[in-house]
Amino acid sequence: MSKEPLKKIGICADHGGFELKEKIKSFLKKNHFELVDFGAMELDETDDYPDFVIPLAKAVAANEVFRGIAICGSGVGACVAANKVSGIKAALITDYFSAHQGVEDDDMNIICLGGRVTGYAASEEYVEVFLNAKFIGAERHLRRLRKIQKLELKNRE
């Protein structure tokens, strides 16, 4: 996987994604990524994904971590919550192509997965390609991202 210096990766999950998070953590450690775990630290069926996803998203937006991995039962709630943080471009990923294309074209910085719907082998592939993908920065991509940034700035007013 990565031969570069350690990259700090943020990861989080609620109860619906807890088991998958723990498996992905092992995979990332084995592949020499430094992890920051934003929780949950134990399985608690009553926890809420925003309590973990929002701190993760804020850390990604502040460049405290390189990229983030957010997991809930379906991945949808994690994606919705992450995208409420300015500077975040999160997507629910269910295929290999989107896992790298989201970074290459759209500068995606958080991958969202469904712990109840994404198999371990598939999630490992998606995470690996997401973390190794690089933003291309073509003019058409930059133009589109500037439109989104303009909206974010307007919404702050």
Cα–Cα distance for residue pair 137/117, rounded to 1 Å: 32
Task: Answer yes or no: is 2 within a domain.
Answer: no
Per the CB < 8 A criterion, the answer to whether 34 and 8 are in contact is yes
Please report the pLDDT score of residue 154 as a whole number.
82
| CATH of residue 101 | 3.40.1400.10
Backbone angles phi, psi at 110, to 5 degrees: -135, 130
Say if residue 1's pLDDT is above 70: no
Work out how many domains the chain is built from and give that number: 1
pLDDT of residue 156: 76
Among 5-19, 52-66, 70-84, 114-128, the range scoring the smallest mean pLDDT is 5-19
What's the rounded Cα separation, in Å, for the pair 92 and 119? Answer: 14
pLDDT of residue 6: 59
* Predicted pLDDT at 149: 87
Select the more confidently predicted residue: 17 or 7: 17
Residues 12, 72, 79, 112: which is the catalytic one? Answer: 72
The pLDDT confidence band at residue 131, using thresholds 50, 70 and 90, is very high
* Whether 79 is catalytic: no
Question: Alpha-carbon dihedral of residues 102, 107, 109, 114, nearest 10 degrees?
Answer: -10
Query: In the chain, pLDDT over 70 holds for what percent of residues?
Result: 96
Average pLDDT of span 129-155: 91
**Domain membership flag for residue 150:** yes
pLDDT tier at 3 (50, 70, 90 boundaries)? very low
pLDDT (mean) for 61-68: 96
Range of the domain at 59: 8-156
Question: Is the confidence at residue 5, as pLDDT, over 60?
Answer: no
Residue at 45 is within a domain? yes
Q: CA 154, 93, 123: angle at the middle one, nearest 5?
A: 140
Share of the chain above pLDDT 90, in %: 87
In a domain, 89, yes or no: yes
Q: Could you tell me where the beta strands, DSSP code E, fall in 24-66?
A: 34-37
pLDDT higher than threshold 90 for residue 148: no
Position 2 scores a pLDDT of 44
